[in-house]
């Protein structure tokens, strides 16, 4: 009697065990969805003196089907010497359908985001303040010919006091020169204070820049 009872438990356990083995749910593989990705980031400019002069530059991330980056490419930014340009940001997540305009969402969350624009090479360290779009720690190279470009942000968020965002900018060029523009988007939830340090980077790219 006792042994029979015992055997029943063994049998029961075995049945449950094999029942659970026959699950096929592992083979039905769910699609790969990332919550957020940036596939394309562009800067679009309009010459203040000539509305027909609209240079731009675009950085593209090519993703595989796991949303991992396989390769990147970037276009060269060509600006006219001794000019002023109004700049705007345009960023996309093309993995979503319809295509998700990231820059619009950043406008919605402007109190958490801050853009930085750093021309290089620079001959001397720029003045870094709460309103400066320059990136602290950028190496100074007094021997190289500097990129004659200065950048100011022209938009403000709704923090109190208001802080800059950098979705719109004015780029002022000097004499003809070549170099790079490093462009960084900082994500600073509950921590934005106008400086670079808080939070982490959402975007960190580089454009070859020619002022001619």
* Binding residues for other proteins (CB under 8 A): 2-3, 5-6, 9-10, 12-14, 16-17, 20-21, 23, 25-27, 29-30, 32-38, 41, 61, 64-69, 72, 100, 102, 105-106, 108-109, 112-113, 137, 185, 187, 189-191, 197-205
- Preceding amide of 98 cis, omega within 30: yes
CB of 31 or CB of 142, closer to other proteins = 31
Distances (CA, A) of 18 to 14, 104, 153: 6, 53, 65
> For residues 79 and 106, which CB has a smaller minimum distance to other proteins in the complex?
106
- Round to whole Å and give the CA distance between 77 and 44: 10
Least distance between other proteins and beta carbon 178 (Å): 23
Residue 84: what are its φ and ψ, rounded to 5°? -120, 130
- The position carrying tokens 């010459």 is 47
Looking at the Cβ atoms of 118 and 148, the one nearer to other proteins is: 118
Cβ proximity to other proteins, 23 vs 124, nearer residue: 23
């Amino acid at each position: 009697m006792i042994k029979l009872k015992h055997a029943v438990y063994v049998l029961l356990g075995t049945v449950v065990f094999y029942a659970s083995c026959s699950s096929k749910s592992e083979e039905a593989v769910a699609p790969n969805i990332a919550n957020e990705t940036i596939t394309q980031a562009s800067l679009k400019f309009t010459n203040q003196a000539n509305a027909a002069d609209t240079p731009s530059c675009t950085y593209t991330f090519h993703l595989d089907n796991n949303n991992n980056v396989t390769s990147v490419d970037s276009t060269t930014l060509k600006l006219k010497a001794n000019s002023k340009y109004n700049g705007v940001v345009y960023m996309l997540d093309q993995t979503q359908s319809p295509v998700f305009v990231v820059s619009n969402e950043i406008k919605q969350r402007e109190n958490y985001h801050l853009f930085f624009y750093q021309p290089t090479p620079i001959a001397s360290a720029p003045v870094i303040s709460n309103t400066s779009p320059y990136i602290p720690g950028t190496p100074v190279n007094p021997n190289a010919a500097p990129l004659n470009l200065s950048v100011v942000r022209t938009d403000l968020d709704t923090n109190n006091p208001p802080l800059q965002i950098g979705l719109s900018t004015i780029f002022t060029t000097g004499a003809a020169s070549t170099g790079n523009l490093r462009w960084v988007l900082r994500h600073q939830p509950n921590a934005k204070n106008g400086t670079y340090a808080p939070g982490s980077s959402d975007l960190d790219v580089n454009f070859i820049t020619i002022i001619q």
